[in-house]
Chains A and B, each alone.
Chain A
Amino acid sequence: MESQRIGDTSSTLSADHNMPYALLRGLNPPNNTSFMYHSTQNYSNQEPPAFDFGELEEAIVLQGVKMSNDDSVRSSLYGSGTNRPAATLEMFPSWPTRFPRGSSKSGGGKENSDSGSALNTTISSRSEANLEPESPISQAFEQQQQLQLPQQQFQEMASDSPRTGVSHTEPASKSNYEKRKAAGSTSDRVTDPKTLRRLAQNREAARKSRLRKKAYVQQLETSRIRLAQLEQELQRARSQGIFMGGGAAGSNISPGAAMFDMEYSRWLDDDQRLISELRTALQAHLVDGDLRVIVDGYVAHYDEFFRLKGVAAKSDVFHLISGIWTTPAERCFLWMGGFRPSELIKMLIAQLDPLTQQQVVGIYSLQQSSQQAEEALSQGLEQLQQSLIETIASGSVNDGMHQMAVALGKLANLEGFLRQADNLRQQTLHQLRRTLTIRQAARCFMVIGEYYGRLRALSSLWASRPRETMMADDNSCQTTTELQMIQAAQHHFSNM
């Protein structure tokens, strides 16, 4: 039996949710409406019920059918003598207004949203039932899907305006009930639809601002957590001596620089591959023709590298000149955004034995010319810096912008110097290729590749070296660590 079931349900409700007994009993209207009234109160005070929803919905549906035919019940329920026209509620046109959805007093806070959803489901299902009695449950579930946003609309609806065949539902708390009660008494006095609409709009506005505040607070919370995580990461990274540079997160790095970094790392992979190719080719004692192909391939590989640098220099010359794309150990020897050709040749001279007399002369003169060219470029750059200093330092406040424009023009020359430096490096490598025989050239490039590979390895070993924190036997610990590192390095090098 319905009433019995209703009674059971309501008692279940009260048992589950500890509703104030007085509230439950004190508002007990005539029998056949008790469930509806109860339901509103119940839901207004607590979390969604844990009982069998399907049964409840059925009960509600049937109850609703009864309700729609019972004017007197409606009046007694809401304490006002008039039927509110559904038109009042058409301010929320997205929802069918024929049977206004479950409404509740404004003021559903965070804790009520869940109960609101459950409540709205029941009410909407019930109101839908009046239209389509055959599928209340599916509709209820459908309603559940769209709960979050429309929910506020539900809850904003003036609950003190009685509606045709719908009882008001309140996913609000006890205070909401009291508000409702107050509003109910207010509605006794204020029955003017305009005022009601204004009140409803106020409620909705209040609801919206509450929700906005809630969203904002949640955003703040997540940001705070994220900040704490980032700080932790940073701390960890710093303690390991790894400098993340100007934008590992990608925020500070220019797109040209980021592109270059990516292409450079790919170039490094290619470099490793080509070096091992050279090594195996040398060990296999290939004929000169085959070796030439590999050697020329390595020269082209470096040509590609300088081309990449040229492209990157157009968009971000400072990135290249700073050497941030290199490893720390390489950066130590940085000259104008790359390696110093004369230094490379100095290193090679010892490794390239045996050389013919002519070759020795050629290599030494190459070293000398590159040294002169480097010197000239360095002096040119120095003059640029001096001129820039004068420009930035000088000028009154009035022509500050003009001075800036002049300075910008001078800075543009930086790209020219970087280009000339790369040109010098490229020419040096080509000259080496021309001066040496194929086998010598193959060995030469293999040595160059290995050299820079070791330099990079040195950088990573340095970065990952353990820090000694003990003061006492700091020295002994340090020695042991270094020894271990050297052994590791030797092992690494012997595999190259």
Chain B
Amino acid sequence: MHYQTESWNGYPAVEEIERMASRNAVVIFSTSTCCMCHAIKRLLCGMGVNPTVYELDDDNPTWQQALFSLLGNSSSSLPVVFIGGKLVGSMDNVMAAHINGTLVPLLKEAGALWL
């Protein structure tokens, strides 16, 4: 897991987020204090994945807004996970994917997991 620090300039467009998301195989947008984010980090690391984490702490609330607009109305909370540049969703999406067996193939496809 490696943490990225970027200098955010201007209003983060959704494209900006997607651009960042496609840079790495697994991207997590999180907050340092969020415990659910901690849980998802544990989950992915436990599976052997090395996710890229962007900590959106309080100085950039607009980022969270942009993220949630991507999510739609389902669950507007952090963490938000992208795998292979594609939006997976927040915690329940990731968990559901893991349970129904689609998460691992997705990770392998993105190159985040090897047999």
Residues on A facing B (Cβ under 8 Å)? 362, 365-366, 369-370, 372-373, 375-377, 379-381, 383-384, 387, 410, 413, 416-417, 419-420, 423-424, 427-428, 430-431, 434
CA distance in complex: A387, B39 (Å): 14
Given A387-B33, A416-B77, A420-B92; A373-B38 close (CB under 8 Å): no
Q: Would you call B99 and A366 a contact (CB within 8 A)?
A: yes
Additional A-B contact list (9), CB under 8 Å, known A369-B99, A372-B47, A380-B39: A369-B103, A372-B43, A375-B46, A379-B42, A383-B39, A420-B92, A423-B92, A427-B99, A430-B100
Which residues of A are found within 8 Å of B100, using beta-carbon distances? 427, 430-431, 434
Q: Does B67 contact A (CB under 8 A)?
A: no
Q: Would you call A376 and B99 a contact (CB within 8 A)?
A: no
Residues on B facing A (Cβ under 8 Å)? 33-36, 38-40, 42-43, 46-47, 77, 91-92, 95-96, 98-101, 103
- For the complex of A and B, list the 10 residue pairs with the smallest distance between their C-beta atoms, beginning with the closest: A380-B39, A376-B43, A427-B99, A384-B35, A376-B42, A379-B42, A383-B38, A376-B39, A383-B35, A423-B92
CA distance in complex: A416, B33 (Å): 14
Which residues of A are found within 8 Å of B33, using beta-carbon distances? 387
CA distance in complex: A384, B35 (Å): 6
Which residues of B are found within 8 Å of A424, using beta-carbon distances? 95, 99
Tell which of A370, A377, A379, A384 touches B99, judged by Cβ atoms closer than 8 Å.
A370
Which residues of A are found within 8 Å of B92, using beta-carbon distances? 419-420, 423
Q: Would you call B35 and A362 a contact (CB within 8 A)?
A: no
Q: Would you call B39 and A379 a contact (CB within 8 A)?
A: yes
Which residues of A are found within 8 Å of B46, using beta-carbon distances? 372, 375-376
**Shortest Cβ distance from residue B50 to the other chain A in the assembled complex, whole angstroms:** 16
> Which chain B residue has the least Cβ–Cβ distance from A422?
B92
CA distance in complex: A127, B38 (Å): 89
CA distance in complex: A362, B42 (Å): 23
Tell which of B36, B47, B95, B99 touches A413, judged by Cβ atoms closer than 8 Å.
B36
CA distance in complex: A430, B43 (Å): 21
Q: Would you call B96 and A427 a contact (CB within 8 A)?
A: yes
CA distance in complex: A434, B99 (Å): 11
Q: Would you call B35 and A381 a contact (CB within 8 A)?
A: yes
Q: Would you call A380 and B35 a contact (CB within 8 A)?
A: yes
Q: Would you call B95 and A423 a contact (CB within 8 A)?
A: yes
> Which chain B residue has the least Cβ–Cβ distance from A414?
B35
Q: Would you call A375 and B42 a contact (CB within 8 A)?
A: yes
Q: Would you call A380 and B99 a contact (CB within 8 A)?
A: no
**Shortest Cβ distance from residue B110 to the other chain A in the assembled complex, whole angstroms:** 18
> Which chain B residue has the least Cβ–Cβ distance from A370?
B99
Q: Would you call B101 and A376 a contact (CB within 8 A)?
A: no
Scoring B33, B77, B103 by chain A CB atoms within 10 A of each residue's CB, the highest score goes to B33
